[in-house]
Structure 1
Amino acid sequence: MIEIDNKEEILEILEKSKCVLLYFGAINCGVCEVLKIKIEKKISKNFSKMKQYYINSNQNFDIASYFNVFSSPTILVFFEGKEFKRYSRNMSLDIFNSEIKRLYEMVF
């Protein structure tokens, strides 16, 4: 997962990429760290064409607020520049995988 801290760069990536995952996490958040590793492995294994980016919510309030992210961890999934799904706090990795898989297979 690539750490990014520039809103304009994120918007450009969303515009040019077919499939993007934005992971908003916070420093000193145990759930954020554990979930980030699991999501990163699952995406790399099952959805290799999906680009993954990490945004530190503590240091990038402007980016978090732009995307209406007010809790950590929050995951936003975009297909062709449009937000497809938003996951926050408690989530099932199985449900995450099945929901992403459906549209991912349609796009690729």
Structure 2
Amino acid sequence: MTLESLQQLIEEKPGVLLYFSGESCNVCHALRPKVKELFEQEFPLVEQVFLNAHEHPEISAHFQVFSVPTLIVYLGGREFAREGRAVSLHALAQKLRRPYTLMTEA
């Protein structure tokens, strides 16, 4: 994954989830399957991209990711939500439901 291909994906897809994690981050490893399941069930048109922040420092810097886990959701090519550290999946889902529904019904 390159920064250019990631930016192209954000521009072309209706929605993109960027999930930044780290190898030694236990929270990242525990949260990832829950995030994956949430997006597959409730937001299936959102492309999921999982990145190791330490393996992709240039991408992490570009998206201003300074801690893991960090989730950034793009809808319609624009950053819509950013969650870090203590992520509430329930709150994130509530935040995304209405705009996602409006976006996919059009």
Alignment TM-score > 0.5, same fold: yes
* Residue identity matched to 1:93: L
Aligned equivalent of 2:28: 32
Count of residue pairs brought into register by the alignment:
104
- Per the TM alignment, residue 35 of structure 1 is displaced from its structure 2 partner at its CA by 0.7
Shift of residue 91 of structure 1?
1.8
- Between the aligned partners of 2:75 and 2:14, the Cα distance in structure 1 is 5
Alignment partner of 1:53 is 2:49: yes
**SS of alignment partner, residue 54 of structure 2:** coil
Unaligned runs of 5+ in 2: none
Give the 4+ runs in structure 1 shifted more than 2 A.
none
| TM-score normalised by L of structure 1 | 0.93
Matched, 1:85 2:81: yes
TM-score w.r.t. the length of structure 2 is 0.95
User: In the alignment, residue 97 of structure 1 is paired with which amino acid?
Assistant: A
Which residue identity lines up with residue 39 of structure 2 in the other structure?
A: I
How large is the RMSD of aligned CA atoms in angstroms? 0.7
Structure 2 residue 97 is matched with structure 1 residue 98: no
Identical residues among aligned pairs (%): 31
Deviation of residue 7 (structure 1)? 0.8
1:45-95 per-position Cα deviation (integer Å, ceiling 9, x unaligned): 111111100111011110000000100000000011100010000021111
State the Cα distance separating 1:28 from its structure 2 match: 1.4
Taking the aligned partners of 1:87 and 1:47, their CA distance within structure 2 comes to: 17
* 3-state SS, counterpart of residue 58 of structure 1: coil
Partner letter of residue 33 of structure 2? I
2:42 aligned with 1:42: no
* 5+ long unaligned stretches in structure 1: none
